[in-house]
Amino acid sequence: AVAAYLEAGSVDDDIASSLCSTNWVAFGSVPQHPIEEAIAEVGRLPALQCRISGEQLVGAEWWLQEQADGDLPKELHTDKDVELITEADGTSHCVVSHPEVSSVIYLG
């Protein structure tokens, strides 16, 4: 799947930065490679559709994370967006939001 992604012409000339960047695919768009095909299948799962609070899924953010044979295991993490809000009085604070639904697919 990764090889097909790299060969599909969807990546930057700098392969290393392409493998470390996030990507977005809209549900209903034509998949450009096997990774987007897998995302489209996940998006159609009835269990996922029922999990959303009356909202329609519009797409998915995705990225690749390479794991070489000698690498240490990847640490667990949670997906989040962090937004810095600056108030009129000059004070600021962070607002953290997490996705309602997420999925992880491991390719070997």
pLDDT digits (tens, 9 = 90+) for 3-24: 666 666 555 555 555 556 778 8
4 vs 9, 11, 33, 35, 72, CA distance in Å? 9, 11, 6, 8, 26
Rounded to two decimals, the pTM is 0.59
Alpha-carbon distance 105 to 108, whole Å?
A: 10
Alpha-carbon distance 37 to 20, whole Å?
A: 20
27 vs 102, more confident? 27
What's the mean pLDDT in 42-53? 73
pLDDT of residue 19: 59
Residue 1 has pLDDT above 90, yes or no: no
For 2, list phi and psi in degrees, rounded to 5: -65, -40
Residue 101: how many other CB atoms lie within 10 Å: 15
What's the mean pLDDT in 74-88? 82
What's the mean pLDDT in 66-81? 74
Whether 65 contacts 35, CB under 8 Å: no
pLDDT of residue 93: 93
Residue 99 has pLDDT above 70, yes or no: yes
Q: How confident is the model over 82-93, as pLDDT tens digits? A: 899 999 999 999
Alpha-carbon distance 36 to 2, whole Å?
A: 11
